[in-house]
Amino acid sequence: MILSIESSCDDSALAITEIKTKKLIYHKKISQELQHSVYGGVVPELAARLHVEALPKILEECEGYFKDLKAIAVTNAPGLSVTLMEGVTMAKALSLSLDIPLIAVNHLKGHIYSLFIEKDEVLPCTILLVSGGHTQIIEATSLNEMNIVASTMDDSFGESFDKVSKMLKLGYPGGPVIQEYALKGDENKYELPIPLRQSPLIEFSYSGLKNAVRLLIEKLEKSGNDGFLSEQQIADVCACFQKTAVAHIMQKTKKYFKLQTPKNFAIVGGASANIYLRSQIEELCEKHNTTLYLSDLKYCSDNAAMIGRVAIEQYKINDFTPFHEVDVYSKVKVF
C-alpha cells in the first residue's frame, strides 16, 4: 500500500491505496474553507498552521496500516510553498521512521489521475484542467508525456469565481455559491465582454472579465437606494458572469476541437464540478463523437486519493525521489 499526502492549498488530506488493485482503502480530507471564508480567499500562513493541526490528526487513523506501507507519496508542486512544506515534512518523517521510499507527486498530474481512481488509465486523452490555480488544455499521452497546449495569461477560471464572490461578499470558495445564485438569475440581464473573443490564439484570460464585473457591481451599488445590491441583482450578476466565463472556455475549446478533434476528452480540477460548464462540454463532445471522462464530484477538488493514484504508476516504474531532493516548488509550468 501507499500512503499519500496532499497539502498544496487549503485541504489537508491523506489516502491509503493498494498498489496491485488500485483500491482506495482509506481517504480523509479536512477542508479549511470556513476559516478562510472571512478573508475572501486562502491566507497561506493560516493554511499552513491549520495543516499542522489537521495532518497528524488524520495520520493517527492510519497507524494500523503502517506495517503494510511500501512508499510515502506527497504533493510537492505546484501550490503554496508554506502549505506544501507541511505535507513534505510529514512525508519525510514517515519515510525515515518507517524506512520506506518517498514519491514526490505533481499536483496537476494528481488532478488528471483523479479520473482514474480505482480504475485503469485511459490515455491518450486531452484534458481541460480548471482549478483555483490553473486553466489549461493538456494533451496527456502517458504519465510522463504531458504537453500543455493552452494556459491562462492571468487569473484562472476558478480564481475568477472566487474573486467575483469576494466582490459580492459571498465568501470563499466562490464557485459553488456563484453556481447556486446563478440558478436564480437572468443570464441575459447584463452584457459582459467575452475575453479574447477576436484573438485567434487558444489562450485564456480572466482579468478583463473580472474588472468588467467589478465595474458593473459599482454601477449597481451607486444606482441602488442604499448602496447595496438586491438578492435578485446578485443572482443576475452571478448568472451573467458564469455564462461569460464559460462562453470563453467553450470558444477556445471549440477552436482546439477544430484543429484536432480528440478521441478522448476530460475535465478535471475543482472547477470541473461546475454544472453549466459540464453540460456544454458534454454537448461539444457528443457533437464530435468524442468520449468524455469526468471525475467523481467528490474527487474534483483537492484530495489525496488522486495523489495516491499517480503514486501507484510512479511506484511501478521505480520513480522514487531521493530524500534530499524532495523539495517544494510553488510554481511549475512544465511537468
Among the listed residues 131, 135, 136, 295, the single contact to ligand KG4 using CB under 6 A: 131
Q: How far is residue 137 CA from its own chain's centroid? A: 13
Grid coordinates in use for 254? 471549440
Among the listed residues 171, 195, 270, 308, the single contact to ligand KG4 using CB under 6 A: 270
Stretch that binds ligand KG4, among 31-39, 172-180, 214-222, 312-320 (CB under 6 A): 172-180
Task: For residues 316 and 140, give the distance between their C-alpha atoms in angstroms, rounded to a whole number.
Answer: 19
Binders of ligand KG4 in range 143-162 (CB under 6 A): 158-159, 161-162
Q: Establish if 78 lies at the interface with ligand KG4 (CB under 6 A).
A: no
CA nearest to 301, candidates 69, 57, 42, 38: 42
Stretch that binds ligand KG4, among 16-24, 112-120, 267-275, 308-316 (CB under 6 A): 267-275
Q: From residue 60, how far is each of 28, 56, 66, 75, 138 by CA, in Å?
A: 12, 6, 10, 20, 37
Show the binding pattern over residues 113-132: x = contacts Zn ion (CB under 5 A), - = does not: ------------------x-
Q: Establish if 133 lies at the interface with ligand KG4 (CB under 6 A).
A: yes
173/195 with CB nearer ligand KG4 = 173
Q: Establish if 164 lies at the interface with ligand KG4 (CB under 6 A).
A: no
Residue 104 host element (H or E): strand 102-106
Shortest gap between Cβ of 66 and ligand KG4 (angstroms)? 28
Binders of ligand KG4 in range 300-319 (CB under 6 A): 301-302
Sheet of strand 11-17: strand arrangement: 24-31, 11-17, 2-6, 71-77, 102-106
DSSP labels for 33-93? HHHHHTTTS--HHHHHHHHHHHHHHHHHTTGGGGGG--EEEEEEESS-HHHHHHHHHHHHH
Shortest gap between Cβ of 301 and Zn ion (angstroms)? 7
Among the listed residues 274, 290, 314, 321, the single contact to ligand KG4 using CB under 6 A: 274
233/301 with CB nearer ligand KG4 = 301
Torsions phi, psi for 180 (to 5 deg): -65, -50
Q: Establish if 12 lies at the interface with Zn ion (CB under 5 A).
A: no
Among the listed residues 1, 9, 105, 235, the single contact to ligand KG4 using CB under 6 A: 9
Q: Establish if 132 lies at the interface with ligand KG4 (CB under 6 A).
A: yes
CA angle 208, 214, 220 (to 5 degrees): 140
Shortest gap between Cβ of 269 and ligand KG4 (angstroms)? 5
Q: Which residue has the cell 488528471?
A: 112
Task: For residues 22 and 2, give the distance between their C-alpha atoms in angstroms, rounded to a whole number.
Answer: 10
94/271 with CB nearer ligand KG4 = 271
With contacts defined by CB under 6 A, how many residues of the chain interact with ligand KG4?
20
Q: Establish if 273 lies at the interface with ligand KG4 (CB under 6 A).
A: yes
Q: Establish if 76 lies at the interface with Zn ion (CB under 5 A).
A: no
Task: For residues 237 and 170, give the distance between their C-alpha atoms in angstroms, rounded to a whole number.
Answer: 12
Shortest gap between Cβ of 248 and ligand KG4 (angstroms)? 13
CB atoms within 10 A of CB 287: 11
Task: For residues 17 and 227, give the distance between their C-alpha atoms in angstroms, rounded to a whole number.
Answer: 53
Q: Establish if 173 lies at the interface with ligand KG4 (CB under 6 A).
A: yes
Enumerate binding residues for ligand KG4 (CB under 6 A). Answer: 9, 131-133, 158-159, 161-162, 173-176, 179, 269-271, 273-274, 301-302
Enumerate binding residues for Zn ion (CB under 5 A). Answer: 131, 302
